[in-house]
Structure formats: structure tokens, C-alpha cells
Structure 1
Amino acid sequence: MRINKFLVNAGLADSRRKADELIKASRVSVNGKTITELSTQIGDDDKVLLDGLEGKSREDIYIAYNKPRGEICSHKRYGDDKTIFDSLPKSFSKLKIAGRLDKDSEGILILSSDGTFINEISHPSKKKTKAYLVSSNVQIKDEDIAKINEGIKLEDGISKMKTTRVSDNIVKVVMNEGKNRQIRRTLEAIDRPVIKLVRIRVGKFSSHKLAQKEYMFIKPEDVL
């Protein structure tokens, strides 16, 4: 494990950038020797000290959670709104969220203590797709689907999503973008309001493995 990641995992630094600053400042030692090389690798038997304080690496946590409608994806409570962390063990309260869902949406969320993993899922440049079932109270016609696939102009740019029919008023949407409420705004732009939105897949991980409000431990390879 690279030294900066070790310092973060061990709780000795808030971020890898901060860890790099500590190393450059000659405040970190490995097995009694001060190090300044950022590429230093740490093994299981190495003793790492920051200003004389020993850190022990913690294993990262990876979980999938099937969010119900009505919970918000936030570490802070706003008014009477429940957060996803009200339904999860307290030990998960500081986990990072990969790709939030709005209050009215439901489905799969991936959470982890591993910031690099979260970025691998969340950042559009990584092109990790997410799939959704989207229901409207209006029939979604073939020409509507064609328009969505070609791209719909929104205030913040063009929204283009791979969309296929499931039934008269339900479509499956696959995308790797992440504009705020993008799916809802896209369908509203063609007068097809969304009444239900369920994320059914993140990367390789699909929702059939979890009942609503359940969570499970996963491995990075289950998603990536």
C-alpha cells in the first residue's frame, strides 16, 4: 500500500494530499527511518509513525444499500427528513456515497471508506454505467424514446441517455453522466413526468440481490 493511502486509512491524515504534505515535511517515519519519498510502499509488518504516533491501517469498507423512497443521501439531517444513515449501522456514518439519489428516487447506492473506489464509480470520465427503471403517468411513445436517445437540451447542457422500452409507460435508462435530477428533467422536457425512478444497477452490481432498506458487504470487483 502506498504511504499516503496508509496514513489516511490509519486516521493520521484527512486526505492523501495532506498525507503527502506530512511526508514532505519529514514528519513520517517507517521502521525508525524518516521518509520523504511519496512513492514509498508499506507492508503488513512495517511500523509507521507520524510525529511519534503509530498508525495501524484499517481495511476499507464497501457496501451496497437499497434505498427506499423518502430517504435523503446526506450525512446531515435537514428538518424531519430521514437520511440513509438512519437505516444503516452507526459504524457506517462516515462512509462516502457513490452517485447520490434524490429523496423521491429509490434503488442501489454504493458506499465505501475508499475514496479512490468512490471516484472510480462516480466520475463521468470513468464511464461506469448506472441503469434505472423510469415510470411516467403518461404513455412514453417511440418518438419520445428516439428524442431522448438523440439528446434533449436542458439548461445545463444536452442530456443524452440510452433508453429502451419496458412497457407503455416504463423505460429503462442507462447512463454514465450525473447531472442533478437529470432523468427527471429530461422526461419533463418532453412532457413525460416521472412518477417513479428506481436505480437497478451500478456498474456490475444489480438490485435483485437486495430487498429495500437492506445492505450487504461487497468487494470492489462486484461493481467495477
Structure 2
Amino acid sequence: MKKSGTDRKTGMLIAFNKPYGVLCQFTDRSVPPRPTLALFELPPRVYAAGRLDHDSEGLLLLTDDGALVHRISHPRHTLGKRYWVQVEGDPGEDQLRRLRDGVSLNDGLTLPAEARRIDAPPMLWPRDPPIRVRKTVVDAWLELRIHEGRNRQVRRMTAAVGLPTLRLVRHAIDRWQLDGLQPGEWREVSPQG
């Protein structure tokens, strides 16, 4: 049973499928204001444990427990994050090897990533707005697993190896996964996984 006020239970963890174009915060002072988490009837007093850029989609964890935010989002804990990445181009083995070895970015060398080519994820929802399809430009899907959380890291890594990101979907953080959540849907999950 959830209690109100200071006796309220803490340690709640929410798995949320963040839609494209939504900010990972509850307010926005831009003019005009952009869509935020406030649109989705999430439980009160939860905050994002980590971030996803407004143009990225997928798993966002939210909690009301500061220690849990730290455990999930602090770089020292190096929780693996898995992404499905639609890239422009036809990834070659050399580009995948560079991602696996670590990529030199303007803020230093990334840690090695797991990188593999995959078929388009079958359970993936259509994006709104859709990715522009160009018949003369090849695209492909990768699955990347990283252990860092630098600003726009996956996009910068793929661009550095000549594969600009067209669509970026985070489908797992450590043991927590989307597991069928559609954009804008959420569920409470165990903090232990």
C-alpha cells in the first residue's frame, strides 16, 4: 500500500517507454513548450534515473529513491545499456570493430562496446514522425551495448565510424527491459531486477 506524505513508501522503480520528441523532465520553459513526462500520468515524485535525448526513444527508468537513481545512473556502476540503432549506410566489419574497440570522440576514447548487425527489430513500433525513406540510401540496424552515459554518445560513436544514426531506441538498462511497453506506457518493476 502506498502512503501519502512523509510516510510514503520509497524505492519505487518505473519502466517507461519514452516516445520520440519527449523531454526527460516534467517541465519545460521553452516557448513554445515541448512535450515532457508530465503528459503521461506517472506516479508522483518520481524522477528520471538517467536521460534519453528528446530525439531518442525507449526505456527510461524513473524512481522516487535518490540512492537508486545513483546506483542506476552513476558512471561508477557501469550498468550496460542496450540500444537498437538504425544507421545510414551498410556497416562493414571494420566499422563494427572500431565500435567494439572504442571510438575516439572530442571528449576522449569511449569504452569498448558490444556491436553487432541485426535485422530490424520485429516488435518495434512505428515512429512518429517516421524516418524519411530514401531509395538511393542504404540503411541498416545495429545493436550496441555501452557502459557509459556521455552526452549523445551512441550518435557520436556511429557518426565517428561513418554511420550516422537515423533512429535510436534504448531497449534495456542492465536487467530492466522494455518487454512489450508501447510508447507512453509504463509499469512498476522490481528495483532488484
- TM-score normalized with structure 2 length: 0.80
Q: Deviations over 1:167-188 (max 9, x none)?
A: 4711111112000000001111
In structure 2, the residue matched to 1:200 is: 171
Q: Distance in 2 between matches of 1:117 and 1:63?
A: 12
In structure 2, the residue matched to 1:169 is: 140
How far 1:10 sits from its partner (Å)?
A: 9.1
Q: Distance in 2 between matches of 1:209 and 1:169?
A: 22
In structure 2, the residue matched to 1:69 is: 20
Q: Does the residue aligned with 2:179 lie in a helix, a strand or coil?
A: helix
Q: Deviations over 1:15-72 (max 9, x none)?
A: xxxxxxxxxxxxxxxxxxxxxxxxxxxxxxxxxxxxxxxxx43201221100110101
Matched, 1:180 2:177: no
In terms of Rg, which structure is larger? 1
Q: Which has the higher contact order (CA 8 A, sep 6+)?
A: 2
How far 1:96 sits from its partner (Å)?
A: 1.9
| Structure 2: unaligned runs, 5 residues or longer | 120-138
Q: Deviations over 1:129-165 (max 9, x none)?
A: 1110011121111110001111111111112322112
Q: Distance in 2 between matches of 1:142 and 1:162?
A: 13
| Structure 1: unaligned runs, 5 residues or longer | 1-8, 12-55
AA aligned to 1:129 is G
Task: Check 1:208–1:10 CA distance in 2 against 1; reply closer, same or farther (3 A cut).
Answer: closer
Runs of 4+ with deviation above 4 angstroms: none
Aligned residues: 168
In structure 1, the residue matched to 2:184 is: 213
AA aligned to 2:152 is R
In structure 2, the residue matched to 1:145 is: 96
Q: Distance in 1 between matches of 2:160 and 2:78?
A: 25
Q: Which structure shows the higher helix fraction? A: 1
Answer whether contact 2:15 2:178 (CA < 8 A) is retained: no
Q: Distance in 1 between matches of 2:61 and 2:41?
A: 13
Query: How many percent identity over aligned positions?
Result: 30
Q: Distance in 1 between matches of 2:49 and 2:95?
A: 30
